[in-house]
Chain A
Amino acid sequence: MDDIERRLTEAGETWRDGQAEPPSVDVLLRGIERPAGRRSLRWIATATAVAAVVIVGAVVLGPRLGDLRTGSDPTDEPGVLHLVNVDGPDVVISIGGQVVADLPCGSSRELAASDSLPPLPWALEVRAADGEVIGTPTIEGPLPEGLLVRERIVLTQPWPMRIGPAPDNPNAPCEGPALPSSSPSPTEPPISAEAIDGDYRLVFELAKQVWTTDESIIGEARLERGGASGWSVWGSGAGPIAFGLSEVGGPRQVGPAYRLDCAMHLAEDSRGLIAPLSKSGGWSEDDPLGPFYRGFLADPFYRLPRGDWEITAFAGFSEGGCGRTSHDLQATLRIRVVEADSTSGQEPAHAGASDGLFRLVFDAPKTTWTTEESVSAAALIEYDGAESLTVAGSGGGLIGFGAVELGGTRRFARVGQDDCSFYELSGGQPLISGLRKSSGGWRDTDPNAEFYRSFMADPLYRLPPGDWEITSYAEFYEGECGGTIHRLQTTIVFHVVPGVSP
């Protein structure tokens, strides 16, 4: 017996010694005879755990609404719908034709469930002063809940709402110009939510609140620990953070799902552990919504159909080893997805490269984008072997991206982390990476320095007008770092046009 086998054998024996006795067969048989009752205990336990999660939120309003700040405990305000008009037109709100509140720009109201109002659910109508109905949300309860007016967009959100600062646009005062309801505001700021559990803080950010059906939604969640670095937690091998999705007012729910394994995850800098928004989940073949789930999960982009959706970041982990102290944090953001009518009719773009063993596929939902849209694309590595295969490469991921302005001087180099991590490839389960930015840096004297700075600071992948050649690169080793190397690259040319409509 070699040393590894001895250590495994001893570790296994010690682990088994620490295991509790299983329930007796007689007890288990009682469960078999009453499966429904036992199952209900699981759901009660789950509901209790969910209810125990403390979602910490505080309304952060723009300067015009500073006096509306509230951090009150939502449980203190049952039966209240909070109305906040950040920067929209003056509106009146009706239920069943009865005006229940007026809500000028920059104001807030509370609508209390009372005898003078019909019972929930409330079918609200939000009408601007110019007569246009800008929203017809349904409030199903339970209250408290929030209703938010941003420019001419109406959103309902859990209360307390976290809505980010008002757009810093002096030309868009309260009575500012109406935007088409299908167009996201170019000045729309990122949105964020957070949850706190002891020393841990989960921050979930999305680049904006309103997306088109063509755009790949961009965001990330960070697990922080008081700004410290060098700490570690244990959780699913893919990371302690995963994301779930829920349709507001609809039945579609996806994820989160986690890998079966457990691994240690080290926060190497003060930003903590970071996970870009990604998809996970499963479905039953007999589920009538199966086609939606299959299509959503197979899409390399994080695209959603039109409607309001809640995306939740979950962080689940233990300290000091698997199975010790458990932490469970959740932070939810509500978004709206609108039709991408401005670029309808375009064909998807597709490029690929293969070295015989692996394929690199680069896809985009379209090739022409506006300067206000976030260019969406994704690359994936495919491997068709019967057995899974371990490959090794940069800890930042096996796929990187570079961009070059055709006929211009602006370019972004692909940059990878100089370390080595293992990845598993198996047939039918490609490794996917959404288009993301990287830069090898620039000198302040570079005439493009200001452009580089603003591009890298933008949470969206927005490009100036022109033709841009974006290349996806994959570089990795078979087995261990230093083994047989594979290099693949493939390119798509994107056309970027000014404004909202190309």
Chain B
Amino acid sequence: MEQDATGSIAAATPEAFGAWVRPHLAAIARLAGRLAPEGDRDDVIQEALTRAWSKWSQFDPSRGSPSAWLLAITADQARRARRRVRPWPLFDSPARVRSIDDRLDLEYAISRLPTRQRLAVDCFYFAALSVAETAAVMGCAEGTVKSTLSDARARLKTLLEFGDG
């Protein structure tokens, strides 16, 4: 089946699925790039889309947007990939921040955040997901995302100013 923005259904062909996925691919890639083990981003995207394709008939537009559904699947596949293989990094671009010192400080501080806060930061600031999409990935309400981000910023402020001991 294919469901467009209005929820209408078309034939369940790979081409129709591709057209349905295409607008969300950039966000899927950003999230996978952020959460997948190093070098596994494209594998995670592939596995997420394979999973989505096999579950497409179960997508219910009344329960969330296509992007939220696809991003939640992507995050799940990234988690599975990490369990399956090695401890690989969230950050795989040496050019992701402005300077060496700032990069090390900020990366280190982010790495010291509790898991949920770190996930919120990764989704919102790095993968550039909306609050609603971040909530879908985290499996919580949008208000919880906002409060988690606020807590994360407060913790980062402390970590960057005073270190973590």
| Interface positions of A (Cβ within 8 A of B) | 2-5, 7-12, 14-19, 21-23, 25-26, 28-29, 31-33, 35, 38, 42, 46, 234-238, 240, 242, 257-264, 282, 314, 316-318, 321-324, 326, 328, 387-388, 390, 392, 395, 419-422, 424, 480-481
Contacts and interface: CB of A to CB of B under 8 A. Distances in A.
B138 interface: no
Contacts of A317: 87
Contacts of B32: 22
Contacts of A328: 86
Contact of A263 (B15, B46, B96, B112): B112
B44 to A, nearest CB: 10
A322 B164 contact: no
Interface string B22-53: 10011011101111001001110110011001
Contacts of B165: 392, 395, 419-421, 481
Contact of A11 (B18, B25, B85, B96): B96
Contact of B106 (A11, A28, A387, A419): A11
Nearest to B29: A22
A283 to B, nearest CB: 10
Nearest to A390: B114
Nearest to A240: B87
B83 A257 contact: yes
A450 B14 CA distance: 75
Contact of B45 (A22, A26, A264, A323): A22
A262 B90 contact: yes
B107 interface: yes
Interface residues of B, number: 65
B16 to A, nearest CB: 10
B4 interface: no
A11 B109 CA distance: 13
Given A7-B102, A14-B96, A264-B108, A32 B86 contact: no
Given A14-B95, A16-B128, A421-B165, A261 B38 contact: no
Interface in B32-83: 32-35, 38, 41-43, 45-46, 49-50, 53, 78-79, 82-83
29 contacts: A2-B157, A4-B153, A8-B121, A8-B125, A11-B125, A12-B128, A14-B95, A14-B98, A15-B126, A17-B95, A22-B25, A22-B41, A25-B21, A31-B46, A31-B49, A35-B50, A236-B87, A242-B87, A258-B87, A259-B115, A260-B35, A260-B90, A262-B107, A321-B89, A321-B103, A321-B104, A322-B107, A422-B164, A481-B165
